[in-house]
Structure formats: C-alpha cells, structure tokens
Structure 1
Amino acid sequence: MSLIDTVVLALYLVGTLAIGLYYARRNRRSKDMFAAGGKSPWWVSGLSGFMTLKSAGTFVVWGGLAYREGVVAIAINTCIGVSAILVGFFVAGRWRRTGVTTPAEFVELRFGPAAVQFYTWAMMGVRIVSTGVALYAVSVMLVALVPLEPGAWLRDPATGHLSLTFAVLLFGAIVVTYTVAGGLWAVLMTDVLQFIVLQLAVLFVIPLLWLRVHDGGATAVLPATFFSPLSDQYTLWFMAGWVGVHFFLVGAEWAFAQRYICVPSDIDAKKSAWLFGALYLVSPALWLTPPILFRMLRADADPEQAYILASQLVLPAGMLGLMMAAMFSATASAVSGQINVFAGVLTEQFYRRLFRPGASDTALVSAGRWFTLAIGAALTAVALLVPLMGGAEKIILTLTGLLFGPLMAPIIWGLLSGRIGLAAVAGSACTSFATGVWVKFGMSADGPFGSGAFAAWTQANPRMTDVLIGAVLPVVLLAIAHVMRRTDQPVWRDIEARVAAYAPTPLSPGESVDHAPARIVAISLAASGALTLALTAFNREGRVALAVFGCASLAIAFVAWRISSRNNSALVNK
C-alpha cells in the first residue's frame, strides 16, 4: 500500500471519529444513546441494518467462497434479502408496537428476568466472538498490504508485514471511541456513510477487473459448476433453510431489532426492513463479482485474501486505501452495532435495575459508555485469538448455522404468540445446542459416534446439517410446545395491552424534517469526491475512472444537500 493509500485511509478514519464526536451532544438520555430517541429516519435505520450484517468477514468468508465456487455465493447471500422482506411483513412493525427501548426489555416482559440473563450472556458471548472475527478479518487485510523493512518497529518478524496485533488494536480503538462518544446516533450515521463509500468502491473495482479479463488476462481454468447458483453442499434445500435461519437472525437478533425500535412508527420499522431486504436482493451480485472475476485471472490465490488482492491488482494509487477504508467501514458497522446494543442491555437491565434504580439520565449515559468500552475491549481480545479458534470461515459458518436459529426463533415466536413460556425457550435452545455439539463433535470422523450411515451423511453434508439443527429443529420443538399448551401465558395480556396502547413517537416540527442525517451524508460524500478527484494528480493511469468516481460522489452529495436544504426551508417557512 502506497503512501497516498495510507493517507486516504487515515483521513477516512479521522472522519469516522469526527462523526461520532458530533453526535455525542445528542446523548442526553439513555434512550437517546441506545434507541436514538425513537427518532431515527427509516432509511437510516434500514441502511444501518444492512451494514450491520456486513463486515470484512463478509469479504473474507463469502468472498473466499465466491473465489472458490463462484455464483453459488451470490445465491446464498440473496437468500438474506428474502428473509428481510419477510421480517418486514411479519415482525418489524410488531417490535415497534411493543413500545420497548431495548430488545432485552421485551424479553423480560415476555419471558421474565431469568430469560434476560440467559439471552444477555449467551448472545453477548456469541456476538463478541463473531464481531471479534470481523475485526480480525479487516486487520488481516490491512497487514497483507503493508510490508515493512527488517528492524521496523511494528514489523512482524514471522510475516515481514505490519504486526497483526497492532492492526487489531488500532481498528478496535477507533470503533470503540466513536461508539462510546456518539451512541446509536453515531452508529446509524457512520453506517450510512459506510454504505455509500463501500458500494461506490465496489462499483469502481468491477469495471476495471472486467476490462482486465476481456483484454486477454483470463488464464485460469474454472470449476465446471462455477456459474451455477447451486452446488453439492449448497443445495436448494440449504437455500430454503438459510432463508429460515436469517429470518430468525434479522427478525430477532438484538442489533437488528434495535433498528425497528429506534424509528418513529411501526410503518417506519417495516420500511426499514424492506429497504434492508431490497438491498440484499441486489447487492450480493455486485460485491461478490470482484472475487469471481479475479478467479478468472488467478487460480492460486489465498481465498481469504482474494478480494483485497483483486483490488490491489487494478486500483490506482489512493483508491486501494479507499477500498481498505470501505472494508473497515463494513467491519465498523458490524462491530459498533453489536457493542451499542449490548451496552444498552447491560445499562438498562443490570446497572439500573440491580445497582442504581434511581440513576439519573446522565449517570446512565456514563455507565453505558463504560460498558461500551468494556465490551469493545473483550471483542478486541477475541480478535487476537481467532487463529487459535480455527480461522474466520469456520467460526462464522458454525455460529450462523448452529446457534442463531435456536437463540432467535423463541423470541420471534414469543413476539407473535402467547403460548410458549420460559420452559419452551430454554428447552428448544438447549436441546438444539446439545444436538449441535453432539453432531459436530461426537459424530465427526474422529469422534466416538463417527461411524454409521447417519454420521456419514452429516460428515458429507456439513452445511445442510447446520441448517437442519439451526433452523428446523428449534421450530419443531417450539411448535410442539405451542400445541401442548392450549392457552396463552398470563403475561401475554400485558404485551397485548402495550401493543394496543401503542402510538408513534411524537416528533416536533424540527425533528420531523431533521436535515442533519442528509447533511452529514452530503458533507462526507463531498469530501470523498474531492479527495478522489485530487488523486488524479498522483496517477497516470486510471484518471478517467477516478474522475467518474469523484464526480459521482459529488453528484450524490449535491442531491443530499439539496434535500436537506429544502427540508430546512420548509421548517423555517412554518
């Protein structure tokens, strides 16, 4: 990575911190810090939810799969769009109508304090690991681009590149700092900026790789099924199960549920989920095309590094830094969203309830920032241990396939039906966990139950096995519990009363036409566009592409500024 790339990356990181500090002034109450005061625009919430699911781990895991197996990676990720659309129809509005501040508050109302304890620690453990993987992945990409001379202070003697430990600590510190300062508002607004920069950066890489392929650069032999949307492991049944797994994940995982809670109305919650879904129906075909094209050029690359190597191959000076910034952006979205939601849970459900029931809003915001710092430190530590845990791809696929369904399915069931209780929640989750451990370890090739026809099938079909345990089994167990209990749980009357009393968050005239989000987007994009145009001075090749990219950024910035100015004028005229 050249000096100009490093400068671009540094400027982007400074800008991200500036946004967090700007929004720190909005955090006067706990609800402001963890639910954006219930006043987030639906489009901001939808884009933030979309970015929360993406990280550098996305490019490492799914980019690696696209490099190895081709179009099937696009098909798998498109399933997530279907899941989010279904969430918009059946779940998102219901979350908003419950009137809670955090998903943990709903879990306590519905299933009791013991359930909050169970979900808080189980989900926090799972998400600290998964977001630690994301932080590790973006750090791996950075160090791959930064070779250092022998004797350099931050050089890793084993690789000759920048120290992975330093990269993890640097990125972790930046994400934690802006999340501590700005709360959910900072998370939402940096997610919007990161979405735009990431999509523009990916769109910049695709035509350059396409030209390289069609100019006679394609030499690699492709697998026979490279352009098929299905494969031996990723069958149509797997795709259906993947939709189910992500219906539970996007519909009930706390970082996503928080997006449906933080908007003014249930209609806004639905629209945010539909936007999320629409983006995931379209975007996988864009951001997984670069590793597919790169596979046509090289067949011997490390799949985990295929994305960044493809970018390095074709991007002009300065743009590689922007691509690295975009990947950091995606990771920051995932990490900051998880940190914020669990800091909110610890602040509301533990600090206030157990230690300071009469705590002031100032004290709660302060406690929330300390919890944010502690969670950020924990996931940074996990990121440093990822190589000892089997690597990024293995961890992500196992967590998603086996754990999220059993944890999240009871919450959605409890959101829509009054029959199941804490026993059904614990029973379905623990049974699914135990089954997953038994199959994964007990029935592995070298496990004590590794022989027999069923064990052989699970070993030959690991992805389908994950989906059966993670999506089908918990639904079957919950359905049995639902049928066995003929009447609703007593607490269901309270939930229904809250839903019946629901009213959209009242917005003042100024809040109803709040122009700050659009102006933040406009200013950030204008800076990105101006920076890109400036890069033309440092490149003899690729000047046209840089100019197009810069002008596109400036055009979007102009539109966003006009929208914000029109809203502001409407407010003044009133």
Structure 2
Amino acid sequence: MSKIDIGVIIVFTLLVFICGLSFSKSGKNMKSFFAAGGALPWWMSGLSLFMSFFSAGTFVVWGSIAYSSGWVAITIQSTMCVAGLIIGFFIAPKWQKTKALTAAEFITDRLGYSTQKIYTYLFLLISLFTTGAFLYPVAKIVEVSTGIPIGTSVIVLGVLILIYTAVGGLWAVIVTDVLQFVVLTAAVLIVVPLSLDKIGGMDNFVSQAPENFFALVNEEYSWGFMIAFGLYNLFFIAGNWAYVQRYTSVATPKDAKKVGWLFGALYLISPLVWMLPPMIYRVLNPELDGLADEGAYLLMCKEVLPVGMLGLMLGGMVFATSSSVNTTLNISAGVLANDVYKHFRPNTSGDHLVKVGRWSTIALGVITIIVALLVPYMGGIVEVVMSVAAITGGAMFLPPMWALFSKYQTGKSVLAITIVSLLINSFFKFVSPGLFDFSLDRAQEMWLGVGVPVVMLFLFELYARTKKTGISQYMDYQVLVAKKASEPNEETGEGNKRGAKVIGIGVASTGILLLILSYIGKTGTALVAGMGVLVVLLGSFIIYRNSKSIKITKDIT
C-alpha cells in the first residue's frame, strides 16, 4: 500500500471522527443519546439499518462465499430484501407504536420486569459474542490490505470505535452510517467496471468462471437453506434489539414503514453490485483456499484501484463494517443504563444515566475486543456467524416479537419458549455431534433454529386462546402505552437538520477527496473524477436543504 493510500486512510478516519464527535454535547438525556430524540428522519434510519446489517458480513462473510460459490452469495442476501419489505408492511410500525426507548423497555411494559431481566442477560451475552465476531472482519480487512497483524488491528480499531460511540451516542452512529453508505456506493461503482476491465470484460468473466458459478443454490446452500435463512432474517431484522432501535427512533408508524421498505429496496439492488468484485477475483486468481478466501474482496480492490482510492475504499470498508459493532454497543449500553441501572435507581437524573451509558459502552467495547481476538480459534468468521445465527436468531427475537401481535402470550410463555429453543439448538450444535456422531447441515440448523420457536409459539397461542389466559397482562400494557402516547414530546427538527448538515459536509468533503485523487491517479481518472463531482453535488444539496434553521416546538396533545 502506497503512502498516498495511507494518507487517505488517515484523512478519512479524521473526517469520520470529526463527524461522530461533533455530537458530543447532543446527549443531554436518554432519549437524545440512545434514540436521537425519537424523531429521526426515516431515510437516515433506513440507511443506518442497511449499513448496520449489510456491513456485518458483506466484505468478509458474503465476500468469501461469493468467491468460493459465486451467485449463491447473491441469492442468500436477496432473502433480506423480502424480509425488509415484510417488516415495513407489518412489523416496524408495531414497534414504533410501543413508544418504548428500547426493546427491553417494551418487554418490561408488555411482559414484566422479571422476564425482561432474563432477556437482557441473554441479549448482552449473545451481543458480546456477535459484536466480537463483527469486529473481526474489520481487522481482517486491515490485515489483508496493510499487513498489520490481526490482533493489533482488533485492539486499535476496537478502541477507536468505542470512543466515538461512547461520546456521540446514536447520532454519531447514524451520521457515520449514512456517510459510509455514500462513500462505499461511490467506491464500488468505481471498482466494478475496473475489475471487469482487468479480466477483459463481462464476456470473459462469464466464460472463464468455474462450472455452476452462476447457479442460484448449491449443495451446501440449498433452497431449503435459503427459505430457512430468509425466515431467520425476518425474525432477526424485525426483532434484534439493535435494529428495533431504528424503528422506535422515528416519529410515526408511517416513517417506521418507510425504514423497512428502504432496507428491502436496497437489498433488492445491492447484492449484485457488491458481490461482483470477489466473484470476478475468482476468475483472476482461483488459487485462494482455506480462510484465505475471506480476503478476496480486498485483494480485488488492490488489483484495480488507482493510487489513493484503495485507501478510501479501505477506510470506508473499515468504518462501514464497524457499523454493526457501534450499533450493538450503543443499544447494549442503552439497555444497561435505561433498563437495568434505572430500575435499581429510578430517581437518577438524565445526565447521570447518559454517563452510565457512556461508561457501559466502554466496558462492553473492551469485552468485544477480547471476543474478537478469539474468533480465529472458532473456525473462521463464516462458521461463527452462521452458528450464532442458527442457534439464537429465532429463539431470542421471535417470542417477544410475537407478543407485539398477540394478547394471549405472557412473560412466562415467551421466556420458556426462548430457553427451550436455545437448549434444543445448542444440543444439536455442540452436544449431538460428539456424543451421538450426529450433526446437522446448514439448512437443517437454520430450520431447527426458526422452526422450534414458531411451532411452540403457535401451539401455546392455540392453548391460550381456548383458555383466555394472559389477557389481563395485555390490557395493563395497553393502558401503559396510551399513557406514554399522551406525554408531551419535544420535536427534534433542529437536531435533524444539524445531523443532516453534518452528513452533507462529510459527503461533500469525500467528493473533494475523490476529485483530488482523480488528479493524482494515473488510471481510471475520468471515472473517479465523475464520481467525485456527483458526490460533491450530493453533499452540497444536503447542506443547502438543511441550511435554514427551524424552531423547536412542543407537541402537547
């Protein structure tokens, strides 16, 4: 990597940090720090949801599958499009109507504190594991590109991420997510044509690809796996506490619908564009094996990007992939402050709770770093992500989400179903292979993971409807929600405009950086310059649209 690339990484890192840290004084209370005021623009929330989910595996997990299996990686990600659309129509508005700051708060309101307490412990345990698994790909990208040992990368990046997440709160997460979306979209639109040109065009790519490279499914990732994984994605995106935050932080149920629809629309288009570089690299270099294919995405970028652009692409990948980390750190800290600490000290001031949230972010970040350092000893990132997904997705997130729609489920029923499902899934994953020499393939793991809680919830629903159990708990919940809905709510129009202006400045600055790189580079200059102009214009438009200040009003209805 050239000195110019390293310089670009440093400049881009400073830009992201300045954007994130500019919100250091915005977290005056829990709602502003963990929900961005509760009236986040739907397009910001939707793009942040996309980046939070998209970035967790695109470059390493799905990039690895795209290199080794081809079109299968695109088919897998297309299931997320269907999930997003269903969530937009039916589930996201339900979450917004709960008037809860976190999913844990909804569980307390709907199912009781004792139920929430156990779910919180389970969520934090699983989140620390998965967040560590998401930090690992960030460090992997740096290792492939720069040669810096992965352990060093994990520690340094983990510290940087936890600092700006602890300081800026949800606004820092949202703004950096949207900035990464623009940066990486611009970068990949440069990488794809240069990659195709490197191997002689689309015709050569198709003709030289391995046999069955464009098959929709294969033996390991079958149609059965796709359907089960699609259901898992539905439950995970709709019920994961970190993603629920994106539905509850917007102003209206209609906005929450738009968040889900935007997520689904982006996953209709993005898989094809994003998976082409590692697929093309398979034709260019078919020799990667073992865990080496996890670096296929960056290796393709190193082959074709002009000087400086590799640094920008790497910086964008690092901070975009870290989106899953900072998102989960933010909501986990919010749960600790709002739903654990506040329960024991209900009279604690908002300022003090924000301080608790910040220190919780730091503590959780340190544990995340430790987990990430252990990922290579767990069979690689693909194995870790798929295993955790199969075991926890349906069991953890579906039962509480079911209670959004059912008046018959109780705290005891959803908690029992979650625990039994986790035990069954864990048995077949960890105990059965060694004890009985019986193991499940990926599709069977996914079906078991989503099937067990669905069947148990359905059976209890039938039983409860005949016995009319749980209705009193639901009626109490309805009264509580009505009370929350009637409370005065501060509009955050000024905060939204400020956030959009920060995004606009970041986007325009990135466009200027692209224009400078087009002048320095010797290849692809017209492509880079054209993209730079478009990005500058986009950033300028965002700044212009949000340049007029508006008064903060209060809704007292």
TM-score range, shorter chain: over 0.9
In the alignment, the residues of structure 1 paired with residue 381 and residue 496 of structure 2 have an alpha-carbon distance, to the nearest angstrom, of 40
Quote the residue 2:244 is aligned against: 257
After TM superposition, the structure 1 = structure 2 runs for residues 43-442 of structure 1, keeping only pairs within 5 Å, are: 43-55=43-55, 57-146=57-146, 161-214=147-200, 222-301=209-288, 302-354=292-344, 356-442=345-431
Quote the residue 2:445 is aligned against: 466
Number of residue pairs the alignment of both structures matches: 545
Letter in 2 for 1:143: E
In the alignment, the residues of structure 1 paired with residue 521 and residue 20 of structure 2 have an alpha-carbon distance, to the nearest angstrom, of 33
Letter in 2 for 1:415: L
Counterpart of 2:306 in 1: which secondary structure? Answer: coil
Alignment CA distance shift 1:210-1:570 (3 Å): farther
In the alignment, the residues of structure 1 paired with residue 435 and residue 226 of structure 2 have an alpha-carbon distance, to the nearest angstrom, of 31
Question: Which structure 1 segments of 5+ residues have no match?
Answer: 147-160
Q: Under a length normalisation based on structure 2, what TM-score does the superposition of the two structures give? A: 0.93
Quote the residue 1:31 is aligned against: 31
Name the stretch that deviates more: 60-69 or 94-103. 94-103
Alignment CA distance shift 1:509-1:266 (3 Å): closer
Name the stretch that deviates more: 514-523 or 287-296. 514-523
In the alignment, the residues of structure 1 paired with residue 43 and residue 353 of structure 2 have an alpha-carbon distance, to the nearest angstrom, of 28
- Alpha-carbon shift at residue 250 of structure 1 (Å): 0.9
Residue 480, structure 1, aligned to residue 459, structure 2: yes
Alignment CA distance shift 1:204-1:361 (3 Å): same
Letter in 2 for 1:190: T
Alpha-carbon RMSD: 2.2
Q: Indicate if the aligned counterparts of 2:196 and 2:205 stay in contact, CA closer than 8 A.
A: no
Alignment CA distance shift 1:325-1:58 (3 Å): same
In the alignment, the residues of structure 1 paired with residue 420 and residue 497 of structure 2 have an alpha-carbon distance, to the nearest angstrom, of 49
Residue 553, structure 1, aligned to residue 531, structure 2: no
CA offsets 1:173-216 (integer angstroms, 9 cap, x no match): 11111111111111111111111112111111101011112259
Q: Indicate if the aligned counterparts of 1:264 and 1:506 stay in contact, CA closer than 8 A.
A: no
- Alpha-carbon shift at residue 57 of structure 1 (Å): 3.4
- Alpha-carbon shift at residue 364 of structure 1 (Å): 0.9
- Alpha-carbon shift at residue 275 of structure 1 (Å): 0.9
Q: Under a length normalisation based on structure 1, what TM-score does the superposition of the two structures give? A: 0.90
Alignment CA distance shift 1:507-1:545 (3 Å): farther
- Alpha-carbon shift at residue 503 of structure 1 (Å): 4.5
CA offsets 1:363-406 (integer angstroms, 9 cap, x no match): 11111110011111110111111112222110001111221111
Q: Indicate if the aligned counterparts of 2:115 and 2:412 stay in contact, CA closer than 8 A.
A: no
In the alignment, the residues of structure 1 paired with residue 525 and residue 20 of structure 2 have an alpha-carbon distance, to the nearest angstrom, of 33
In the alignment, the residues of structure 1 paired with residue 12 and residue 281 of structure 2 have an alpha-carbon distance, to the nearest angstrom, of 27
Counterpart of 1:448 in 2: which secondary structure? Answer: helix
Name the stretch that deviates more: 502-511 or 179-188. 502-511
Q: Indicate if the aligned counterparts of 2:395 and 2:449 stay in contact, CA closer than 8 A.
A: yes
In the alignment, the residues of structure 2 paired with residue 347 and residue 359 of structure 1 have an alpha-carbon distance, to the nearest angstrom, of 10
Letter in 2 for 1:348: N
Alignment CA distance shift 1:501-1:365 (3 Å): closer
- Alpha-carbon shift at residue 66 of structure 1 (Å): 0.6
Name the stretch that deviates more: 421-430 or 315-324. 421-430
Alignment CA distance shift 1:100-1:510 (3 Å): closer
Name the stretch that deviates more: 89-98 or 162-171. 162-171
Q: Indicate if the aligned counterparts of 1:242 and 1:467 stay in contact, CA closer than 8 A.
A: yes
Residue 516, structure 1, aligned to residue 498, structure 2: yes
Letter in 1 for 2:374: L
Alignment CA distance shift 1:426-1:209 (3 Å): same
Letter in 1 for 2:283: M
Alignment CA distance shift 1:437-1:503 (3 Å): closer
Name the stretch that deviates more: 220-229 or 365-374. 220-229
In the alignment, the residues of structure 1 paired with residue 56 and residue 477 of structure 2 have an alpha-carbon distance, to the nearest angstrom, of 39
Quote the residue 1:544 is aligned against: 526
In the alignment, the residues of structure 1 paired with residue 294 and residue 243 of structure 2 have an alpha-carbon distance, to the nearest angstrom, of 27
Q: Indicate if the aligned counterparts of 2:329 and 2:361 stay in contact, CA closer than 8 A.
A: yes
Alignment CA distance shift 1:514-1:433 (3 Å): closer
Q: Indicate if the aligned counterparts of 2:391 and 2:426 stay in contact, CA closer than 8 A.
A: no
Q: Indicate if the aligned counterparts of 1:192 and 1:521 stay in contact, CA closer than 8 A.
A: yes
Name the stretch that deviates more: 391-400 or 209-218. 209-218
CA offsets 1:401-450 (integer angstroms, 9 cap, x no match): 22111111101111110212233223322222222222223332xx2212
Counterpart of 2:213 in 1: which secondary structure? Answer: coil
In the alignment, the residues of structure 1 paired with residue 366 and residue 417 of structure 2 have an alpha-carbon distance, to the nearest angstrom, of 32
Letter in 2 for 1:384: L
Q: Indicate if the aligned counterparts of 1:266 and 1:504 stay in contact, CA closer than 8 A.
A: no
CA offsets 1:245-265 (integer angstroms, 9 cap, x no match): 111111111011111111111
Q: Indicate if the aligned counterparts of 1:93 and 1:260 stay in contact, CA closer than 8 A.
A: yes
Letter in 2 for 1:98: T
Quote the residue 1:149 is aligned against: none
In the alignment, the residues of structure 1 paired with residue 551 and residue 372 of structure 2 have an alpha-carbon distance, to the nearest angstrom, of 48
Letter in 1 for 2:517: L
CA offsets 1:508-562 (integer angstroms, 9 cap, x no match): 7871794223322221111111111112343222222221221121121122223
Quote the residue 2:555 is aligned against: none
In the alignment, the residues of structure 2 paired with residue 484 and residue 294 of structure 1 have an alpha-carbon distance, to the nearest angstrom, of 55
In the alignment, the residues of structure 1 paired with residue 473 and residue 509 of structure 2 have an alpha-carbon distance, to the nearest angstrom, of 52
Residue 534, structure 1, aligned to residue 521, structure 2: no
In the alignment, the residues of structure 1 paired with residue 503 and residue 489 of structure 2 have an alpha-carbon distance, to the nearest angstrom, of 22
In the alignment, the residues of structure 2 paired with residue 212 and residue 191 of structure 1 have an alpha-carbon distance, to the nearest angstrom, of 31
Q: Indicate if the aligned counterparts of 2:109 and 2:480 stay in contact, CA closer than 8 A.
A: no
Q: Indicate if the aligned counterparts of 1:60 and 1:305 stay in contact, CA closer than 8 A.
A: yes
Quote the residue 1:157 is aligned against: none
- Alpha-carbon shift at residue 13 of structure 1 (Å): 1.3
Letter in 1 for 2:474: W
Alignment CA distance shift 1:512-1:497 (3 Å): farther
Letter in 1 for 2:161: V
Runs of 4+ in structure 1 deviating by more than 4 angstroms, as ranges, are 215-221, 498-510, 567-571
Alignment CA distance shift 1:331-1:218 (3 Å): closer
